[in-house]
Amino acid sequence: MEKTFVWKVGGPAGFGITTLGPVFAKILKDCGYFIHGYLEYPSLIRGGYNSYQMVFGKTPVTAPKKRIDLYIALDDVCFERETFDDDTIVIGDFDNLKKADGIKGVKVNVPLKKIVEDLNGKDIMRNTAALGASVAALGLPEDVMAAVVAASYPGKISKPNVDAAQAGFSHCKPMIKLEKTDNGSCKKAPVMTGNEAVSIGAIRAGVTFFSTYPMTPASSILHYLAKEARDYHVTVKHAEDEIAGILMAIGAAHAGARAMTGTSGGGFALMNEGFGLAAITEIPIVVALSQRPGPATGMPTWTEQADLQYALHASQGEFLRAIYSPADLDEAYKFTIDAFNLAEKYQIPVIVLLDKFLSESHFMAHDMDTNYGTMDRGLIFKGNPEKPYEHFKRYEETENGVPTRSIPGTPGGLFVAGSNEHDKTGFVIDSADNRVYQTDRRFKKQPFVAAEMPHPYLIGKEDAPLTFVCFGSMKQVLLEAMKYDDRFNFIYFPAVHPLEWEKIADLLKGRNLVAFENNKTAQLRALIAENTGIYIQKTCLKYDGRPFFTEEVVEYVGEALK
């Protein structure tokens, strides 16, 4: 198996750590490498410690690692936070670093401060100079680097950054011999975050309304759609809170828009009553829910998969919702498109469940088909111009439990969208017969929705002695680990609800199962037990705010199969 490399840069917030990632990613992919970029940062604007890790190689890479091959230290704080081994190359301006004595690794002194001063540049450009040095250390071509840096910085700051990168480059000799690659497909593959893939999926699906309140790690969906609002005709509102965020989307969807909201657990908590309103009024909405560690404020900028059971049960009463749990960019994009059709076809709220690791890390997309999806808005009443003021049985079953929607403005389609239990026209009523009819009708949709959800499936060798069970972004971690030890396989849940559980029970039977989740209580295990009676005894769980690192999985497999 070929080697994957880990490049990492660290320093206080405000040192240009996060901007460096995408620039270096582009250099690597233009050279034909597959990349994955993983970002860690605290919840503050200046100071603290930010880091950006780039994993790259000749085959797809999808998860972060512990061991670093090359590290750029932009500040003394780096030596408090990182550990190196004897072979780690550590690039830094060691004349100006005071805490580097005694660190392991091969120190490469690059006078970043002097380079920037000589160029009359701003302090922040030390990041680009250091990038240049690291590109040289990896033996990558200077011309590709210069072209990418030039294109990455706009206008007046373009040339100074190219100068800084080239000056940094000239201060370092090639130290690592990378395997050559000429993979043209990497050059053509987009690199983006999960949130960007969700946003582009929403635009592809024809979203016309998006409203929410900012909350890490979901905010970049709001930012993206706001930026593209006028070009793609999306009304994007930063509302006064998440309650208003979901309710504006519900009002818009009622009036005919394709509407969406997006948030993290805390914001979703505020949205809960609205989520139930969407359910009882059968107004279709899509919710992108990106998990971070809770409860309450928790750890705002870190990752966890602890809102699965919450998403399954949020809001009072019993009602149908659907939950996709994409693992990668291609799925984030496609499932978002599918979510809009599913929501409108079945008139239910649909969640696209993400986590910070997927939402904010950089991945490479290999199958983001710009032609994916067709418009399906479900059953919509065409109107009756002869009798424009008549009421319409909006809540009477047409097929599969699904009624026909009537969009305000349509002649002859009058109804009440009632948050109270209602009769077929929507008028409030609390008769026993009607309650049972409406509840049964709304739940009648469930098997039809289940048949449309992406089904859990096995990845890896059929007869492996160990089978992990996971959902969402953990698929990426297991795929990466499988490159190092293929004595395990795994069952991956691209969606968690509703599902065809009889088929899943067959898939689970007769295997040495381990619940593999980024949470404390193995929430997917609980869901599986509830629906199949199969209780997975073993767990491999992580809940420290970080995703699993590749080595941790390999280590677990090694121990388990000793």
Partner 1 sequence: MKPVEYNTGKVPNWCPGCGNFAIWNSIKKALSNLEIEPHKLALVSGIGCSGKMVNYVRSYALQTLHGRTMPVATGIKLANPDMTVLVNGGDGDGYGMGVGHLIHAIRRNINVTYIVHHNKVYGLTTGQAAPTSPEGTITKSTPFGVVDATINPLILAMAAGATFVARGYTGESEHLTDLIMQGINHKGFALIDVFQPCVTFGGQYKYEYYDQRVVKMDKMPSHDEAVALAADQEKLSIGLYSQYERAPYEARHPEISRTVEMKDVSKLIEAYI
Residues within window 262-281 making contact with partner 1, judged by CB under 8 A: 273-274, 277, 281
37-45, 170-178, 412-420, 491-499 -> range binding partner 1 (CB under 8 A)? 412-420
Does residue 375 interact with partner 1 by CB under 8 A?
Answer: yes
Window 421 to 440, contacts with partner 1 (CB under 8 A): 426-428
Residues in region 386-405 near partner 1 by CB under 8 A: 388-389, 391
* Residue whose CB is less far from partner 1, 26 or 445: 26
Shortest approach of partner 1 to residue 328 CB, angstroms?
14
For partner 1, which residue of 14, 32, 160, 190 counts as binding (CB under 8 A)? 190
Question: Tokens in use for 350?
Answer: 């649909």
Strands 495-497 and 322-324: antiparallel
- Per the CB < 8 A criterion, the answer to whether 329 and 194 are in contact is yes
- Taking the C-alpha atoms of residue 64 and residue 74, their distance in angstroms, rounded to an integer, is 21
* Span from 101-109, 181-189, 456-464, 526-534 in contact with partner 1 (CB under 8 A): 181-189
d(CA 18, CA 20): 5
Which one of residues 90, 115, 129, 244 is an interface residue with partner 1 (CB under 8 A)? 244
Give the Cα separation of 469 and 205 in Å (integer): 31
303 vs 406, which CB is nearer to partner 1?
406
Residue 412 beta carbon to partner 1: minimum distance, rounded to whole angstroms: 7
Angstrom distance (rounded) from CA 309 to CA 437:
28
Write out the H or E segment, with its range, that includes residue 497.
strand 495-497
Q: Is 112 in the site for partner 1 (CB under 8 A)?
A: no
Closest CB to partner 1 among residues 90, 249: 249
Q: Pick from 409, 463, 502, 562: which binds partner 1 (CB under 8 A)?
A: 409
**Which of the ranges 40-48, 227-235, 457-465, 487-495 carries the binding residues for partner 1, by CB under 8 A?**
227-235
Q: Which of 36, 58, 126, 254 binds partner 1 (CB under 8 A)?
A: 254
Closest Cα to residue 306, out of 357, 262, 260?
357
Residues 348-367 that bind partner 1 (CB under 8 A): 365
Which secondary structure element, helix H or strand E, spans residue 199, and what is its range?
Answer: helix 194-204
Residue 333's nearest CA partner among 427, 192, 141 is 192
Segments in 293-367 forming alpha helices (H) = 308-313, 329-346, 356-360
- Residue 410 lies near partner 1 (rule: CB under 8 A): yes
Q: Give the interface segment with partner 1, choosing from 90-98, 249-257, 470-478, 502-510 (CB under 8 A).
A: 249-257
In single-letter form, the type of residue at position 235 comes to T
The kind and range of the H/E element at 245 are helix 242-254
Directed axis angle between helix 194-204 and helix 329-346, to 10°? Answer: 40
Place of tokens 């401060």: 113
Interactions with partner 1, residue window 204-223 (CB under 8 A): 204-206, 208-209, 211
- CB of residue 285 vs partner 1: minimum separation in angstroms? 10
120 binds partner 1 (CB under 8 A): no
Closest CB to partner 1 among residues 148, 474: 148
Considering the rule CB under 8 A, would residue 314 count as an interface residue with partner 1? no
**Strand 457-459 to strand 191-193: parallel, antiparallel, or no bridges (unpaired)?**
unpaired
Does 36 participate in binding partner 1 (rule CB under 8 A)?
A: no
Q: Which amino acid type is present at position 320? A: L
User: Which one of 32, 412, 454, 545 is in contact with partner 1 (CB under 8 A)?
Assistant: 412
Nearer Cβ to partner 1, position 273 or 555? 273
Query: What does the alpha-carbon distance between residue 193 and residue 494 come to, in Å, rounded to a whole number?
Result: 18
Residue 241 or 318: the one with the smaller Cβ distance to partner 1 is 241
Burial 187-221 (b: 16+ CB within 10 A, else e): eebebbbbbbbbbbbbbbbbbbbbbbbbbbbbbbb
Written as one letter, the residue type at 499 is L
Instruction: Provide, rounded to whole angstroms, the least separation between the CB of residue 203 and partner 1.
Output: 5
DSSP string, 118-171: HTT--GGGHHHHHHHHHHHHTT--HHHHHHHHHHHS-GGGHHHHHHHHHHHHHT
Three-state DSSP state, 444: helix
In angstroms, what is the minimal distance from the CB of 549 to partner 1? 25
- Residue of 416, 458, 505, 534 interacting with partner 1 (CB under 8 A): 416
Of 71-79, 246-254, 502-510, 541-549, the window that binds partner 1 (rule: CB under 8 A) is 246-254
Binding residue for partner 1, selected from 107, 113, 377, 455, defined by CB under 8 A: 377
The minimum distance between CB 392 and partner 1, in angstroms, equals: 10
